[in-house]
Amino acid sequence: MNEMWTVVRFTLQNKLRSKAFRVMTIILAVIMCVAINAPQLASKLSSHEPAKIGVFGQAGGMAQTLSDYFGKEEKPEAQIVVLDDTGNEVSNEEAAKQLIADKKIKGYLQFVGMSAKVGVAEGSEGAFPKVVYKSLNSADFGLRATLKNALQAVKLELAVQSLGLSSTQLKALNEPVNFDSMQISAVGKTEGGRSESEMEAAYVLVYALLLLLYIGVIGFGNMVATEITAEKSTRVMEVLIASVAPLKQMFGKIIGICLIGLLQIAIFVAVAAANLLVPQNRDWLGHFHISMSEIPFELLVYFIIFYIAGYFLYATIFAAIGSLVSRTEDVGQAIMPVTFLIVAGFMIAMYGLKQPNAPLVAIMAFVPFFTPLIMFLRIGLGDPAVWEIWLSIAILVAAIIGMGWLSAKIYRTGVLMYGKRPSWKELRRAMRAYKV
């Protein structure tokens, strides 16, 4: 046991002294700070000037009606500019194109078949005219949605006015519905549940932790394989095998890199929490009804459980693969099938973000290679029974023990085999000669 902890301590010290590891941790922490504060930085750097939208005089009083609509907003996204009507559609279009080219307007609205009466199409009984927005930017989806909402509001207001309703009645019509949602449990407690803000906080947390879980398992598992292959390729492995039993060496390295991963994740979590507690970021989260105080503590506990379990399951596989490779250049190709397995689990988890209780997600949560990602997702957003959670953990632990036993046999055999990668027949023959 002392020998294994010696390997753990050596792995920790080796990584912590590595300049590349320290620099990468700092770079990732800085990127995280920038990403969290990006909305605030973008709002400070943006000009907040409304987009100028042209409307020809032939549209009757529609220009003024739209202008009044945007004038009521605190920070209007559009400003209506009345354009001179030449009486000719072709001339109007040429004049509008020139204004767009001169950057005096961003685009213009064309009302097809507009009569002199505000908001009424010619030859119809109170029908709203067809509106075409023309601009150079085909990807300005936000502005187009803003204009569409404004026209819808104007249409409603004109319809209400035609019915002779008062301003109080119009305000009552525009008052949003008082709507809330709550997640309940199909089993167990019949009272209580998650409020909408708690669900939104859980969704953001689950999404962030899924990424962290995915990157952590694949990144540090890859590190296990690379470290073992590097020691084998430099013949350091022969010295280590002579002084430390292969089994203790393998698990010592796995545990050491696991502790490094947990340390790095703790740093990232601390950086993220410090940035999210800044007043402007707390206000920004408040717009999405997300409160840091509503993050469920048990979800963080389950994250640690599934991170460690997922890491050990994949790290044992990566260790076995790393022991079979003689050159670090071949590690990426050798671990590719396992990487695809993790990616598949992540893709299923992304699908489960919208449907955490879907049959596919529920079934895949019990497959050990997918359990760390998918069962964690179901705990955060779904409604799994307690027995389902602990059954998946029990299956995952059994898989870790089984893969650990198999990987230890492969590791003990593989670290002393050089040259081309051994075939499964050669590996089985060599494994029979050893007992772990």
Q: Could you list the pLDDT tens digit for every one of the 436 residues in the chain?
A: 677 777 788 778 878 888 888 888 899 888 888 877 776 776 666 556 788 888 876 555 777 778 888 877 777 888 888 887 777 778 888 888 888 888 888 888 887 765 545 554 444 555 677 888 888 776 677 788 888 888 888 787 777 777 777 777 767 776 777 766 666 665 555 444 566 666 776 777 788 778 887 888 788 878 888 877 777 666 666 566 666 676 777 888 888 888 888 888 888 888 888 887 777 777 666 665 566 666 677 878 888 888 888 888 888 888 888 877 777 777 777 788 888 888 888 888 888 888 888 888 889 999 999 898 888 888 888 878 889 999 999 999 999 999 888 888 887 776 666 655 555 565 565 555 554 4
Residue 272 belongs to some domain of the structure: yes
The gap from C-alpha 330 to its chain's centroid, in whole angstroms, comes to 31
Q: Are residues 256 and 397 in the same domain?
A: yes
Residue 59 belongs to some domain of the structure: yes
Residue 96 belongs to some domain of the structure: yes
Query: Residue 13, class by beta-carbon neighbours within 10 Å (0-12 exposed, 13-18 middle, 19+ buried)?
Result: exposed
Q: Are residues 162 and 214 in the same domain?
A: no
User: What's the pTM value of the predicted model, to 2 decimals?
Assistant: 0.69
Residue 123 belongs to some domain of the structure: yes
Q: Are residues 285 and 327 in the same domain?
A: yes
Q: Are residues 326 and 398 in the same domain?
A: yes
Q: Are residues 144 and 256 in the same domain?
A: no
Q: Are residues 308 and 384 in the same domain?
A: yes
Residues with Cβ within 8 Å of 136's Cβ and at least 6 positions away in sequence, in order, are: 100, 107
Distances, alpha carbon 274 to alpha carbons 150, 231, 289, 295, 333, in Å: 39, 39, 19, 15, 39
Segment holding 110, helix H or strand E: strand 107-112
pLDDT at position 397 is 93
Residue where one domain finishes, among candidates 141, 174, 207: 174
pLDDT at position 116 is 45
pLDDT at position 354 is 83
pLDDT at position 180 is 62
Number of domains in the chain: 2
pLDDT at position 391 is 94
Q: What is the CATH number of the domain that holds 56?
A: 3.40.190
Q: Are residues 243 and 334 in the same domain?
A: yes
Enclosing domain of residue 87:
50-174
Residue 300 belongs to some domain of the structure: yes
pLDDT at position 400 is 92
CA angle 64, 66, 68 (to 5 degrees): 70
Cα–Cα distance measured from residue 53 to residue 66, given in angstroms and rounded to the nearest whole number:
10
Residue where one domain finishes, among candidates 174, 206, 235: 174
Residue 68 belongs to some domain of the structure: yes
Cα–Cα distance measured from residue 224 to residue 315, given in angstroms and rounded to the nearest whole number:
7
Q: Are residues 319 and 420 in the same domain?
A: yes
Residue 38 belongs to some domain of the structure: no
Q: Are residues 226 and 349 in the same domain?
A: yes
Q: Are residues 215 and 335 in the same domain?
A: yes
Q: Are residues 154 and 270 in the same domain?
A: no
Q: Are residues 407 and 283 in the same domain?
A: yes
Residue 4 belongs to some domain of the structure: no
